Amino acid sequence: MLTACGGNEGDDLDKFMRDAANDMRIKIKPLPEVKPYLALQYNADGTLSDPFKARKASNNKSSALQPNLNRPKEPMEAYPLESVKYVGLISRNKLTFALLKTPDSGVQQVKIGNYVGQNFGKVTQITDSEVTLKEIVQDDLSGDWVERLTTLTLQES
């Protein structure tokens, strides 16, 4: 009396397994077309400067603004401006001196007209809160000398 499986159900399963593989197809996109490499010459017309060569300071005599390279260097010109700190102010005999701390923990006095830093920075003003310098730097694009104002603010310690 026990008949659990009929003969027809097994045939359907076998038919499904046979037909299932017919519907599965792998769809692969074709590879993109590889274009040939075309080498171009850098700066073929000669208008650009070579980025892999160091730029030299141009000795343009036409530029009115140039640093005096013949004057003797002052002691504070040996230090980069970023490493110098303004730490105090002294006034005596109507002269004002700024106290600048050097990276080697020394303290130097400078007055208006002295040079500080490696960019020909000349002290133009000394106040209680800052020292103003006028630096002469070379423009990266044109190579001309330009002035820029820089300040050293008082460092409270």
Cα distance between residue 51 and residue 28, in whole Å: 45
Q: pLDDT value at position 74?
A: 92
Nearest to 117 by CA among 92, 144, 135, 105: 135
- How many residues can be counted in the chain? 157
∠ Cα 45 46 52 (to 5°)? 130
What confidence score (pLDDT) does residue 64 get? 72
Cα-Cα-Cα-Cα dihedral sign, residues 77, 88, 126, 92: negative
pLDDT digits (tens, 9 = 90+) for 135-154: 998 887 777 888 999 999 98
Q: Would you identify the CATH topology of the domain 75-153?
A: SH3 type barrels. (2.30.30)
pLDDT at 107: 92
What is d(CA 89, CA 97) in angstroms, rounded to the nearest whole number? 6
Distance CA 7, CA 122 (A): 106
pLDDT of 48 reads 76
Cβ–Cβ < 8 Å for 126, 96: yes
Whether this model's pTM surpasses 0.75: no
pLDDT of residue 10: 61
pLDDT the model gives residue 124 = 95
Are 77 and 116 in contact by the 8 Å Cβ rule? The answer is yes
Q: Give the contacts of 87 (CB within 8 A, at least 6 positions apart).
A: 99, 100, 101, 107, 154, 155, 157
pLDDT of residue 82: 92
Quick one: pLDDT at residue 21? 75
What is the C-alpha to C-alpha distance for residues 41 and 140, in angstroms, rounded to an integer? Answer: 24
- Collect the ranges in the chain with pLDDT lower than 70: 1-10, 54-63, 157
pLDDT of residue 12: 84
